[in-house]
Every structure is written in structure tokens, then in C-alpha cells.
């Protein structure tokens, strides 16, 4: 199996267009120690030829341009992108669907909750249908159903498991404040030939025993790396929102209602996986700087920071 990191940043990318924080300003000035990053997406493939997008980033056109694996190969109009699986309905994961309108019928895999937001609130799907055929393949997670197994035509050697996560519906969703299942999933992708497993969760609010079980079984974990610490945005004076408000588990351990909760770094450090990578990194996160003490702490725990264009062969 191939996993190609198309975009390793959270919403806004790095640098973010309107952000003049120290890191964004350095990146904008062309500081070579900092890699610029597009917004969150990964592509997977069983043969390196046909690809499935896991989320459709607003930066998809640049991502296709930058990754020859996704270029057209046939005559006329062509694409090796066979389908799109959405893990939630956040703008940084769905806005790129609009840029796929010139292509063949779009095979879209997502839960009913995500489809509901895309159809009735954001209205991306009805708008897209005026340009191209959209075929929805429901992922039956929601209403108490916490996981589902499915296959995707065009990548027959990969088997997909969707796992309901405690996350947050997007800010525009009427379910933002609710705690339903189906708004956010993780994906466990298994190569049927080798049995190798990839776990992908760019939006993960809490790691409980269920999530930990899937993560322990994976050879490669691509996990929510949005924030280093709980109060990162308030401390930088950029927003009042904490990591918890936004549904992201930070890397540092944190206090929740007086109890210590293990952060993503502690969780990842305890996993047997060969590859432990952080994705969906916010532009405020100090781990973006390879010379930061936070980055060294990750390295000591065997955790890497994913970068755009990184390809992992499992």
C-alpha cells in the first residue's frame, strides 16, 4: 500500500494568508528551515497507479500539480483519482470537491451525517451535481453504529474500516454542539495482500480504549497533530478557542476538569507502529520549526511530523 501526504497542515495551511505570527512570518519570508504546507489530505493506493483521496483539500489543484502520481496519464482528460472518502465535513476537508467538477463521475464515500451537512447546509453536493455526476456511497456509521467495513471500486486490494470518533461537526453544522456519531470518523486501511494497516485520523478529540485498539494494530499511524498544547491559540492571542473547543487532542498531556489526560505524544509513544506521524498541523504549532525543543521532544519519542509530498510504502 502507498500513502501519499498531499497536505499536512490544518485549516488555513502554513503560512496562513492572514497570519503574521512568528512562524508564518518566517515561512512567508522564505526561511528555508520551514516547509510550507497545504491543507489536510492524504491519498492511498494499492498499486501506486489508482488513488483514493482521503478528504478533498481546498488546495487540491496545487496538490495534484505537485504530486506526479496524481497527474493525468491517458489521452484527452484523465485522472488516476478513483474516489474520495470524507472523514468529516470540515471546510478544509471538503472544499476541494468543487475543484473536481471537471472530472468523471465523482464517487463519494461518507457517512449520512456528513452527506447531510454537504447537501442541506453547505449545499456543495447539489451545486456539484450541476457540473458532474456525484455517486454517494454511504458509510453506515451513525445512530449508534460505531464502525463499518467497506471496499472502494478501483482499489480492490485495500479494505477500509470507518471508526466513529469523538470529534466535532464543523462550525457551520447544526450538530456542532451535539455529540452524535457519524460527524467524524477515523479510517483504518488494510492491504489484503500483506495485511499491513494504516490508521488515519486528522481530527481526533479523545483516544479511548476503542481508538487505542485500532491504533495499536496499525503499522503506520497518521494522527491529529493540530495543536501542541491545550491553550495554544489563546496564549498566542490569536483566538479564544482551546484545543478541546475545536475537537483536537493536543500533543502535550492536559488537565481536563482537574484530571490529567494523556496527550497525543504520550499515546503515540506507546504504540508499536513502525511509522508514527502527525498530520493536520495548525500554523500556531511550534513543532513546525525543526529546530524547536518541542520537535526534539517528538523525535525522542519516535514521532515524525508529516510533510507535503511524503510517500510511505507499507
Distances from the Cα of 114 to the Cα of 81, 121, 148, 232, angstroms:
21, 10, 15, 28
Element containing residue 164 per DSSP (H, E): strand 158-164
* Using rule CB under 6 A, residue 246 touches ligand MLT: yes
39 binds Zn ion (CB under 5 A): no
Closer to ligand MLT by CB, 46 or 92: give it: 92
Q: Which of 249, 303, 296 is nearest to 274 (CA)?
A: 303
What nine digits make up the cell of 185? 470518523
Q: Which is nearer to Mn ion, 162 or 169 (CB)?
A: 169
Taking CB under 5 A as the rule, does residue 215 contact Zn ion?
no
Only one of the segments 21-29, 66-74, 88-96, 130-138 lies at the binding site for ligand MLT (rule: CB under 6 A); that segment is 88-96
Site for Zn ion in 249-308 (CB under 5 A): 283
Residue 163: HSE in the Cβ half-sphere, 13 Å Cα cutoff: 24
Is residue 10 within the footprint of ligand MLT (CB under 6 A)?
yes
Cβ proximity of 91 and 57 under 8 Å: no
Rounded to whole angstroms, how far apart are CA atoms 95 and 234? 27
State which of positions 248-307 bind ligand MLT (CB under 6 A): none
Question: Which CB, 34 or 201, lies closer to Mn ion?
Answer: 201
> In terms of CB distance, is 244 or 252 closer to ligand MLT?
244
- Asked whether 225 and 280 are in contact (CB, 8 A), the reply is yes
User: Grid coordinates in use for 41?
Assistant: 489530505
Q: What is the DSSP letter of 195?
A: -
21 binds, among ligand MLT, Mn ion, Zn ion, none (CB under 5 to 8 A by kind): Zn ion
Among 5, 43, 52, 92, binds ligand MLT (CB under 6 A): 92
Interface residue list for ligand MLT (CB under 6 A): 10-11, 90-92, 170, 203, 246
Interface residue list for Zn ion (CB under 5 A): 19, 21, 24, 283
Amino acid at each position: 500500500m502507498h500513502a501519499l501526504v498531499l497536505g499536512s497542515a490544518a485549516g488555513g495551511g502554513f503560512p496562513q494568508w492572514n497570519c503574521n505570527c512568528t512562524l508564518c512570518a518566517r515561512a512567508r519570508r522564505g526561511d528555508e528551515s520551514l516547509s510550507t504546507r497545504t491543507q489536510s489530505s492524504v491519498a492511498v493506493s494499492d498499486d501506486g497507479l489508482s488513488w483514493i483521496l482521503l478528504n478533498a483539500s481546498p488546495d487540491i489543484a496545487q496538490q495534484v500539480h505537485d504530486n506526479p502520481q496524481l497527474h493525468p496519464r491517458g489521452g484527452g482528460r484523465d485522472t488516476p483519482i478513483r474516489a474520495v472518502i470524507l472523514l468529516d465535513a470540515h471546510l478544509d476537508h471538503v472544499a476541494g470537491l468543487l475543484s473536481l467538477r471537471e472530472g468523471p463521475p465523482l464517487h463519494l464515500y461518507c457517512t449520512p451525517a456528513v452527506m447531510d451537512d454537504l447537501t442541506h447546509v453547505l449545499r456543495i453536493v447539489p451545486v456539484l451535481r450541476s457540473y458532474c455526476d456525484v455517486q454517494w456511497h454511504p458509510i453506515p456509521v451513525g445512530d449508534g453504529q460505531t464502525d463499518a467495513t467497506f471496499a472502494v471500486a478501483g482499489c480492490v486490494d485495500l479494505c477500509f474500516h470507518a471508526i466513529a470518533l469523538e470529534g466535532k461537526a464543523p462550525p457551520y453544522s447544526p450538530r456542532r454542539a451535539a455529540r452524535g456519531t457519524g460527524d467524524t470518523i477515523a479510517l483504518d486501511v488494510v492491504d489484503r495482500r500483506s495485511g499491513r494497516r494504516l490508521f488515519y485520523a486528522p481530527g481526533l478529540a479523545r483516544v479511548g480504549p476503542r481508538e487505542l485498539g485500532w491504533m495499536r494494530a496499525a503499522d503506520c499511524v497518521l494522527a491529529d497533530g493540530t495543536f501542541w498544547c491545550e491553550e495554544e491559540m489563546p496564549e498566542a492571542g490569536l483566538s479564544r478557542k482551546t484545543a478541546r473547543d475545536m475537537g483536537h487532542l493536543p500533543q502535550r498531556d492536559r488537565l481536563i476538569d482537574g484530571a490529567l489526560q494523556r496527550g497525543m505524544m504520550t499515546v503515540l509513544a506507546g504504540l508499536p507502529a513502525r511509522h508514527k506521524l502527525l498530520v493536520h498541523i495548525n500554523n500556531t504549532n511550534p513543532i513546525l520549526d525543526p529546530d524547536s525543543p518541542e520537535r526534539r521532544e517528538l523525535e525522542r519519542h519516535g514521532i515524525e511530523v508529516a510533510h507535503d509530498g511524503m510517500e510511505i510504502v507499507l
